[in-house]
Chain A
Amino acid sequence: MSSLRALAKLLKQLEDQLVVCMRCGLCQAVCPLFAETGREADVARGKLALLDGLAREIFENPKGVQDRLARCLLCGSCAANCPSGVKVLDIFIRARAILAGYLGLPPWKKVLFRRVLSKPELFNRILGWGAKFQGIFLKPVDDLLGSSCSRFLSPLLKGRHLRPLAKVPLHRQTPTLNTPPGASGLKVAFFVGCLIDKVFPQVGEAVLKVLERHGVGVYLPRGQACCGIPALSGGDTAAFKEMLNHNLDLFGAESWDYLITACATCASTIKKMWPLLAQEDGAAEQARISAVADRVLDVSQLLADQVGLAPGGPAGEGDKITITYHDPCHLKKSLGVTAQPRSLVRANPDYELTEMAKADWCCGCGGSFNLQHYEISSAIGRRKVENVLKSGAAAVATGCPACMLQLTDLLSRAGAKVRVRHAVEIYAEALRPSGGLE
């Protein structure tokens, strides 16, 4: 009991934030998980009540609360729509860390966060082997989507139609870059992110192509670590800090104007979570973090707001390709970025953008949520796929590789011939070597 009291005391740190929730329940309208299950413990209000109860020692079941807290996509839909402005994600991330600290991490998470994700060299090597041998386990199912499924019944892969690891990850194609600013007068640091590096390197290539054509200098350091969100969402602050420090050292070594990503989740983690977790650290550490976090931009923000998009040229021969756009939660709800990726798509005259219903409804991926709650994750995703299909578009663009993975899996399983693209790929396709549009 005395240790439970200690836990309650730790959770009391969250009290000032917890008390802001007035239990109005409006989060029920926007929570993608609640829409599937209808269970109060699945929506923010219920989880906040549980944390409050644990902090006030009304009940003694930290493991039960931890399990329910883990049933969350961390999509931020609740926080973005909360009338009282409850900082739901901040609370959940900090509570996950407190509970994991109290209950201990499961061994597989410890290994994953501390021995793999925070050691970029090793992580790259392991996945390099994976890319070589995955053909033994996977067979292609959809050429258009580039998806594969398990060759035999696998409890781990279930019925997933996954994007296999890229044969050559971005860090092998372009290990490092350090170019001066060109016509734009700007230089950016490119934070690639694990999924773009290892699964969607073509998105990274598109980013590099676009930057080059717009005369933007690039600092692409070797050996980038994960942004840290898997460790944070698992409650492993120590591993997170290791990744954070590695990245800060790496990106602090050069001067640049903006840190850009093409991954909504990485951008949101760097901008919101890096400073959040530095709250207990000293002023010097906070300054070191905000020097990076304050200057992070999604690549679409850089292009549309800072550089200026190239004017649209004439359309190519033949019909335009209809394309719809899915708002990644971490772009729209966390960073408020909605117009810029759409302008990237519109800038390509070969495409016609058509909006789907509920473009900002979560795709259900939620990173590790998909691994631990695949059935619910898929159920949420099926709503998304329905809206994609109803839009009649031949392709769906988005701004986050995690959404791309989820959309690929669900569209492939639905047998839909809809391509999944990143907005920057669509824009890059239209760029002439001179920097104008083709």
Chain B
Amino acid sequence: MVSRALVKEFQRILGKEQVFLEEIDRATYAYDAAVLEPVLPAVVLRPRSAEELGRVTALCHENGLPLTVRGAGTNLSGGSIPSSGGVVVLTTALNKILEINEADLFAVVQPGVVTARLMAAVEAKGLFYPPDPGSMAVCTLGGNVAENAGGLRGLKYGVTRDYVMGLTFFAASGETVKTGSRTVKCVSGYNLAALLVGSEGTLGVVSEIILKLIPLPPARRAMMATFDGVGKASETVAAIIAQRIVPATLEFLDNFTIRTVEDYSKAGLPVDAAALLLIEVDGHPAVVAEEAEKVEAICRQMGAARIHVARDAAERDRVWSARRSALPALAKLKPTCVLEDATVPRSKIPAMIQALEDISRKFALPIGTFGHAGDGNLHPTILTDRRDKKEWSRVEAAVDAIFEKALELGGTLSGEHGIGTAKSRFLEKEFGRGTILFSKKIKAAVDPHNILNPGKIIGE
């Protein structure tokens, strides 16, 4: 419990306005985007400087108070849902882009900077920050680091991990820890950044992030190809990569999703197609022209029923609107939509799609699947109404079945949404008991009072 004296102490450090005590204000920080029950925090804090962030972290440590850091609260695995009676620490006031270094190609940001804002700021200077999670219009870079967020460009450009050059974070006890540097090469000390990225707020509280930037590709071209079999689409993806072409995006929509998008947006998609690929190549204009031609030829050879290459920005936008509409269109079918991200090796996509169709039939649940065909990260989306208790138990069983299948195919529980509390009970299945014990030992060593987002990833 948070004592009155402690509340006073928080107020002294942060100012009264930045300490939210009223129940209904706290209730608005009890949930995130995962379909899980909300948990009411005891107090919500909004530090406005790194120093304040460090002091409240230390105070939570001294008092054994569970602390959950929250950016935009878009987490899809419950990682930003607090512990009962715990503290939520908001990063929304730590939202400064501290530096964009054009000579050394990096940016230094506070954790509350919204991803899309950094992207726009660096693009204005002809630079590129590629990781583009679906929620980038609102999600924060601190959250991206904590979840090792991915996005559509994973295949060619990698994920958040590949852009974190350095971090400053607070240990549970409040000491400042620094790792990495502003240099391309750095082998000084343990690679603590690698440990922190994707740790979901369980090992430290990030206060500053150094992110790698790259030159903005000057040209890009998008195309859409439809296939009468999922296998053909998947073989096309393999054939493109076998030709040593790595598209910036290689997105997949299944028949259910195609039909739903078409009903929703009347964009003229072929509703009888089994699969649709959206492919975009980017880079030097000459390379883009050559690669686009090659990709088009490969699609044709592999038996694409229809290919449409975007000739200008407006056409590119139309091609992409099909992908952008996927989740909104699916979400509108039923009140609840459970968005999964089980990931398999690229070559196992046809097997995974087949399995998802079987699961959909077995549990009598509509499942639309779309996602990143290039990196095997699919988003099977189960449409349901969580108020229907009987159906909800089938949803839980279907989710279990999806995880089982992904692991059986040599894949992983989560490509980009994180483990949080939603998937923690499956983690041992993926990695074995030894991995869980090792992880718990690390956690206990750096967070002896178990205050940092307890219960996430490795369970209580």
User: Interface on A for B, CB 8 Å cutoff?
Assistant: 16, 19-20, 22-26, 28-29, 38-41, 46, 49-50, 53, 58-59, 61, 64-65, 68, 83-85
Contacts and interface: CB of A to CB of B under 8 A. Distances in A.
A40 B73 contact: yes
A23 B32 contact: yes
Given A22-B33, A38-B92, A83-B331, A28 B27 contact: no
A50 B40 CA distance: 12
A265 to B, nearest CB: 27
B335 interface: yes
Nearest to A31: B138
Contacts of B35: 22
Contacts of B317: none
10 contacts: A19-B386, A25-B72, A28-B138, A38-B92, A39-B28, A53-B24, A58-B27, A64-B23, A84-B331, A85-B328
B73 A25 contact: yes
B387 interface: yes
Given A19-B335, A22-B33, 6 more contacts: A23-B32, A25-B73, A25-B138, A29-B116, A49-B38, A53-B27
A127 B74 CA distance: 49
A278 B344 CA distance: 52
Given A20-B335, A85-B328, A85-B332, A25 B135 contact: yes
Nearest to B90: A38
Nearest to A38: B92
B24 A59 contact: yes
Contacts, number: 81
B33 A46 contact: no
Interface string B138-163: 10000000000000000000000000
Most central of A22, A24, A41, A83 by chain B CB within 10 Å: A24
Contacts of B27: 49-50, 53, 58-59
B336 interface: yes
B138 A61 contact: no
A22 B337 contact: yes
4 closest residue pairs by CB, A with B: A83-B328, A46-B28, A40-B28, A29-B137
A49 B327 CA distance: 21
B341 to A, nearest CB: 14
A51 B28 CA distance: 11
Given A24-B135, A25-B135, A50 B24 contact: yes
Contacts of B29: 40
Contacts of B336: 19, 22
A166 B93 CA distance: 44
B385 interface: yes
B335 A49 contact: no
Given A19-B335, A19-B336, A28-B72, A49 B28 contact: yes
B104 interface: no
B335 A61 contact: no
Among A38, A64, A85, residue most surrounded by chain B Cβ atoms (within 10 Å): A38
B207 to A, nearest CB: 18
